[in-house]
Amino acid sequence: PYEAEPFAELLAALGDWDITHLIHPEGGEADAANAIADADGLLFYDMAGYTFADGEVTMRPPSEVFRAAIAARFESGKGAVAMHHAIAGWTLWPEWHAWLGGQFHYQPGEHGSDSGYRHDVAYVARIVADHPVTRGLPQNFPVTDELYLCPIDERALIPLVRAEGFAFMADNFYSAAQAVAGAMFSNVGWEHPAGSNCIAWESRTCPAPLVYLQCGDGPATYANPHVRQMLRQALDYTSGGTA
């Protein structure tokens, strides 16, 4: 869930784009596949492939036509931006997360523990790379937003921004699996390795520019001028505007 009106205001502030907004599942994966092929810029702010009900979660992979559309776009050199909870989407599509460089898990499994979340964390975003996505931003700026504790493979990415002033350790986060089961804001008995504080990066493994920005939980972040600038520049970069 997200607040649609403030999010629409964010999109409207990103530049002179003609926006097509497809919502899972109403948008339909076939319709999304067509849009993926045609769009100049592509922003993922979805968390698709899940059904949450009665304290449980079921998962499914995307359709073959959807997977093929994403792969064809990337193979053509056209990129994308993934934002916030998009790192959790399509948990049963390994190639997506290999491209993305990280994955948020709602359940434990062969990969290890379920992931962690923490809302409304006040931290300092520190720019760590001179890159088209970060150019013109102050070296440090304040953000209040949700953070994730989840597997991030820094070998597979170019770090752009790190979150300073908050430790990415299990004691500071809540268990996603416990939240699904009905125990929100609980980490009783939950274990998770310490994680990366990288919150924005470009993939090294995707054949096209693919940028992930963890910022984006709600209206306070949507309105942050530095987050808006970073997102605007990420869309320009991945669509070829500043590549």
CATH 3.40.50.880 fits 4-13+44-238, yes or no: yes
Q: Tokens in use for 209? A: 């520019």
pLDDT-derived band at 40, boundaries 50, 70, 90 = very high
> In the prediction, which pLDDT does 30 show?
76
How far is C-alpha 59 from the geometric centre of its chain's CA atoms? Answer: 18
pLDDT-derived band at 243, boundaries 50, 70, 90 = very low
| Percent over 90 (pLDDT), the chain | 90
Model confidence, pTM: 0.96
Q: Three-state SS for 47?
A: coil
The DSSP symbol for 76 reads: T
The DSSP symbol for 187 reads: -
Give CA–CA dist 57/113, Å, rounded: 15
Give CA–CA dist 152/58, Å, rounded: 23
pLDDT digits (tens, 9 = 90+) for 183-196: 999 999 999 999 99
pLDDT-derived band at 24, boundaries 50, 70, 90 = confident
Which residues lie across from 213 on neighbouring strands? 83, 200
Mean pLDDT of the chain: 95
Greater pLDDT, 29 or 137: 137
> How many other CB atoms are there within 10 angstroms of residue 15's CB atom?
13
Q: Three-state SS for 221?
A: helix
Residue 71 corresponds to which amino acid? A
**What are the respective helix, strand and coil percentages of the chain, to the nearest 5?**
30, 25, 45
Which residues lie across from 58 on neighbouring strands? 51
- 117, pLDDT greater than 90: yes
- 210, pLDDT greater than 70: yes
> In the prediction, which pLDDT does 27 show?
57
Give CA–CA dist 201/157, Å, rounded: 6
Q: Tokens in use for 224? A: 């942050």
